[in-house]
């Protein structure tokens, strides 16, 4: 909804069509709920696209902006991963399923060379995947910066806030806090992180704690940690609304995600002065390289490589350098204006669409 509100603040009327809505509806934005049919996710996606069509045809709007892949969009906000790339990793039989045929058709309607849809891209990695699988022209992609909140920037009393956080969770100043942030432990790679902690030499492992902030089912990962002999070194905090305090209290952000279209927490960590170790496939991982604010785990992922990089970073003399590099990078780089830049793209698409319509009317 933040993009919709940004467009409203710029003087536009915004109508939202959705398959479901939870909570109070905004007064300044019209919300229309479209009932979908189907027992599976892919059949509901197909149903939504079909039932939406009468509302958006015949020039009803200056611009049709979608967060779901479907035909008829002027602009698609690419917040999801490339389905064709994911499907290519599966068996031939998977590509015979109704799910595959439905989802690939919807994705192709946006990214094929014959489509005219503009794409607001937030991930260089996923952009490359789309171009590889569909041959989508470069001119249809519009990269926008991350959209972190400025309260993620380390304040003058950052060290005091970090020390208070450590005291609160019972960790001493000389213990290493390797922090993970995010919900859905499976996708975020919590298993990979636990294996990496277990691989550390005893002298380092004894004073290192893996602190995991976010919603997820901890049971299987506690059992994994117990089996590997590191249960006492893994702390599940659960969901919190004070993530910035953890960023200020930790020594390293670990983000070995299996799949991550963006990875906003990577940018937030740099803003807080926290060195980062993340998988190269995370959408925002290129910022870590540009800033020289840590290391990236190469793709394809190899556990031993993560283990090596974690050990190198925890024992490196460059921790302070990576911290300063991250803060400096955030200070000189636009990592805040995602929605404003996206609104500019939508306005440009609407202008061109209206000009084309006027020219056709004239002929």
Res 216: pLDDT? 93
Kindly report whether the peptide bond that precedes residue 277 is cis, defined as omega within 30 degrees of 0: no
Within 10 angstroms of residue 152's Cβ, the number of other Cβ atoms is 21
Burial code (b: 16+ CB inside 10 Å, e: under 16) for 345-355 equals bbbebbeebee
Q: Is the confidence at residue 363, as pLDDT, over 60? A: no
Domain 2-144+337-362 shares a fold with domain 150-332: yes
Confidence of residue 361 (pLDDT cuts 50, 70, 90): low
What pLDDT, in 10s, does the model give residues 5-44? 999 999 999 999 999 998 899 999 999 999 888 889 899 9
CA-CA distance, 10 to 346, in Å (whole number)?
12
Does the structure show a pLDDT above 80 at 83? yes
Q: How confident is the model at residue 276 (pLDDT cuts 50, 70, 90)?
A: very high
The confidence band for 56, taking pLDDT boundaries of 50, 70 and 90, is confident
Mean pLDDT across the chain: 94
Which CATH code of 3.40.50.300, 3.40.50.2000, 3.40.920.10, 1.10.510.10 fits the domain covering 150-332? 3.40.50.2000
Q: What percent of the chain has pLDDT over 90?
A: 83
Q: How far apart are CA 315 and CA 40, in angstroms?
A: 49
Residue 210 and residue 177: Cα distance in Å, rounded?
6
Q: Tell me the mean pLDDT in the region 79-96.
A: 92
List pLDDT tens digits, range 250-275: 999 999 999 888 899 999 999 999 99
Distance CA 204, CA 58 (A): 66
pLDDT digits (tens, 9 = 90+) for 202-221: 999 999 999 999 999 999 99
| pTM for the full predicted model | 0.86
Residue 187 has pLDDT above 80, yes or no: yes
2-144+337-362 maps to which CATH number?
3.40.50.2000
**Mean pLDDT within 46-62:** 88
Whether 250 contacts 272, CB under 8 Å: no
Please state the domain extents for the chain. 2-144+337-362, 150-332
Q: For 207-228, b where at least 16 C-beta lie within 10 A, e where not — what string?
A: ebbbbbbbebebeebeebbeee
pLDDT digits (tens, 9 = 90+) for 327-342: 999 999 999 999 999 9
In sequence order, the β-bridge partners of residue 33 are: 18
């Amino acid at each position: 909804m933040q993009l919709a509100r940004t467009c409203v603040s710029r003087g536009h009327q915004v109508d939202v069509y959705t398959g479901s809505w939870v909570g109070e509806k905004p007064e300044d934005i019209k919300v229309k709920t479209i009932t979908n049919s189907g027992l599976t996710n892919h059949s509901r996606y197909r149903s939504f696209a079909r039932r939406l069509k009468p509302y958006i045809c015949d020039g009803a709007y200056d611009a049709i902006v979608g967060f779901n892949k479907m035909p008829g969009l002027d602009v698609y906000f690419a917040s999801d991963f490339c389905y064709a790339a994911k499907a290519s990793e599966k068996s031939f039989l998977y590509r015979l399923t109704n799910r595959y045929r439905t989802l690939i058709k919807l994705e192709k309607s946006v990214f094929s060379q014959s489509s005219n849809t503009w794409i607001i891209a937030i991930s260089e990695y996923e952009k490359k995947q789309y171009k590889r699988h569909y041959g989508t022209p470069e001119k249809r992609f519009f990269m926008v910066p991350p959209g972190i909140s400025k309260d993620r920037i380390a304040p003058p009393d950052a060290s005091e806030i970090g020390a208070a956080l450590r005291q609160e969770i019972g960790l001493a100043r000389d213990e290493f806090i390797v922090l993970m942030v995010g919900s859905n432990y499976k996708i975020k790679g919590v298993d990979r992180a636990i294996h990496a902690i277990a691989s550390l030499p005893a002298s380092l492992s004894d004073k290192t704690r893996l602190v995991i902030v976010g919603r997820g089912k901890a049971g299987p990962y506690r059992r994994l940690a117990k089996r590997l002999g590191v249960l006492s070194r893994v702390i599940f905090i659960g969901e919190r609304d004070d993530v910035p305090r953890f960023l200020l209290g930790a020594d390293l952000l670990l983000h070995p995600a299996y799949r991550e279209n963006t990875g906003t927490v990577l940018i937030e960590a740099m803003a807080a002065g926290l060195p980062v170790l993340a998988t190269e496939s995370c959408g925002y991982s290129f910022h870590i390289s540009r800033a020289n604010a840590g290391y990236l785990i190469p793709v394809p992922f190899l556990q031993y490589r993560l283990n090596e990089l974690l050990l190198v970073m925890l024992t490196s003399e460059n921790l302070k350098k990576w911290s300063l590099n991250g803060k400096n990078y955030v200070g000189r780089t636009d990592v805040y204006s995602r929605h404003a830049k996206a609104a500019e793209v939508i306005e440009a698409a609407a202008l061109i669409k209206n000009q084309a319509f006027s020219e056709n009317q004239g002929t």
